[in-house]
Amino acid sequence: MNEWTESQIYENVKSVLVAALEANPEAIQPQALIITDLGAESIDLLDITFRLEKIFHIKIPEQYLSTESGGIGEGKNVAEILNVQLLVDFVKQMLKETGIRISQ
Amino acid sequence: MNNRVVVSGMGIVSPYGVGIEKFWKGVSQGESAAKLVTKFDVRDYPVRFAAEITSDQFNPREFIENKKSIKILSRATQFGLGAAEMAMQSAGLDKDKQDPSRVGVTIGTGGVGPVDVDLFSEIKFSRPVDESQKSEFPKDNIGQIFRIVMGQVHPLTPLKILPNMAAAHIAIIHQARGSNYTIATACTSSAQAIGEAFRQIQRGENDVVITGGTDSMVNPMGLLGFDMLGVLSRNNENYRQASRPFDRKRDGFMLGEGAAILILEDLQHCLRRGGPIYCEIVGYAAGSDAYRITDEPPDGYGIAQVMTLALKDAAILPQQVDYINAHGTSTPMNDKTETWAIKRVFGEDAYKVPISSTKSMIGHWAAACGAAELVTCILALNHQLLPPTINYEEPDPECDLDYVPNQARAKNISICLSNSFGFGGQNACLILKKFEGEGEPHE
């Protein structure tokens, strides 16, 4: 895929979270915290990484999605800041870096 | 003085379906659980049947509350968690009312962990951005082959393969913070697990132990691998008659799969909470042939030794035993050797004690067989009915005892003995007794 729309990205991230966390689709809201609200543990973040890489054809740096600080949280408490929107934004950024166009 | 140990709960996932009721109906009516394998394509396999659990018979989602954990559960672990849930329910144990530090788990599982069909199938998935796939497949370089293959499988796959996962998940689900063991002694695993759980309660280490076994060798590796060792029956045409322990025409075992989990409990603890009592465990012994990996010594000394020691442990004389649930695999060697060993221990009484092999019906559950057969003994005790050895048609001069041929038999029984042996030469024997004493036996 050379081009993704914003809503395609959001829906695919949502489907990854539903599958990996067996979450109720209605619980996947932009502000929902993936660890605190949706119950992700370390192994689920590995699972989410694997699924995102497959769907979006991206390579996420190892340990970037982790319950430990240092990855996506940029030193902050991941449990308190990693929400669905942050993950969607991260995927968008990864897509842009690989030269994929994102449209509305 | 050791604590007395009772069985206060049981759960089973079997090729008859889910639950004790279906299992008992199958084994007491002498029904073969054999099926042509549907789970994977067995065309051109030398063996195309097994006592398989089909997807319409067991759905892990009905038993496992933490749905997202299912992705890391092997097939065997899923069976084990289902059986454990049923066992805890039948025991009426409320995890919030127990001291969690005195609830243990000891489970018998397969050697290197089950290799599921879905685990292999994951390899077809690929990580398209993985550089390794752009290079040529490195033949004859196992290190590099694995790097590529493992790069394609789901990253949580290693958590499916670890042999201790059944025991670990059971502890998490049921808040069992006591000692947690996994026993992997091939087909002796679950009998030894139950025996060691028995000892833990006797010694006062735990009040309750969730024990038993689970295994699923009905997969390409199991079906082809056991056939390569020459131990499976290839009777594809009459597969329901393939498993025929003690029969003269027996030619190997039928693979099966499943989980049987028991709740062992300190008698006083069980009485205090008014829990059900299915039977008492009174004797156990384990030992090793220390002979050859898959051959049994012709005079069956290792088997005789564990039966003798278990009887001694139970302070029971051979003539008091009312029923023997044999290991009875249906291989030419096992059934002959087990027969000799029984004669060695029981003398002339060997001809009086009824013996049957549950494997004639449910096949060989490998690591889980001992637990399934102990459940069979407990049900036999509670129903006063001996399940048969089916497909018994032609007596073998070397197997000349009473194998309860083809039909269940009503009998007043109080004491049962169950044998389990495994590749490697490990042997175990467990002795059960109908519960007598203060408190009400469970009906």
Please write the tens of the pLDDT for every residue from B25-70.
999 999 999 999 998 899 999 999 999 999 999 999 999 999 999 9
Residues B45 and B150 in one domain: no
pTM: 0.93
Q: Does A59 touch chain B (CB under 8 A)?
A: yes
Size of interface A-B (CB pairs under 8 A): 33
The nearest CA of chain A is from the CA of B97 a distance in Å of 26
| B439 within a domain of the structure (yes/no) | no
Residues B147 and B94 in one domain: no
Instruction: Mention every residue, 6+ apart, whose C-beta is less than 8 A from residue B208.
Output: B8, B93, B98, B102, B103, B104, B176, B178, B201, B263, B264, B265, B266, B269
CATH code at A81? 1.10.1200.10
Residues B378 and B417 in one domain: yes
| B409 within a domain of the structure (yes/no) | yes
Question: Could you give the CA distance from residue A30 to residue A49 in angstroms, rounded to a whole number?
Answer: 18
| A87 within a domain of the structure (yes/no) | yes
Categorize the per-residue pLDDT at B127 as very low, low, confident or very high, splitting at 50, 70 and 90.
very low
CATH code at B378? 3.40.47.10
Residues B101 and B149 in one domain: no
| A85 within a domain of the structure (yes/no) | yes
Provide the domain limits for residue B145: 120-157
Residues B136-193 have pLDDT tens digits of 667 778 888 778 777 778 888 888 889 999 999 999 999 999 999 999 999 999 999 9
Structural domains of chain B, count: 2
| B298 within a domain of the structure (yes/no) | yes
Residues B59 and B199 in one domain: yes
Structural domains of chain A, count: 1
Partner-chain contact A57 B128, CB within 8 Å: yes
Residues B185 and B311 in one domain: yes
Task: Report the SS3 class of residue B276.
Answer: coil
Task: Report the SS3 class of residue A25.
Answer: helix
Please list the active-site residues of B. 187, 327, 364
| A104 within a domain of the structure (yes/no) | no
Answer whether residue B15 shows pLDDT above 70.
Answer: yes
Which residues partner with B6 through β-bridges? B265, B280
ipTM for the whole complex: 0.87
Residues B200 and B240 in one domain: yes
Partner-chain contact A49 B155, CB within 8 Å: yes
Residues B246 and B150 in one domain: no
Q: Which chain B residue has its CA at the smallest distance from A42's CA?
A: B156
Residues B46 and B130 in one domain: no
Residues B327 and B251 in one domain: yes
Residues B290 and B143 in one domain: no
Provide the domain limits for residue A72: 3-97
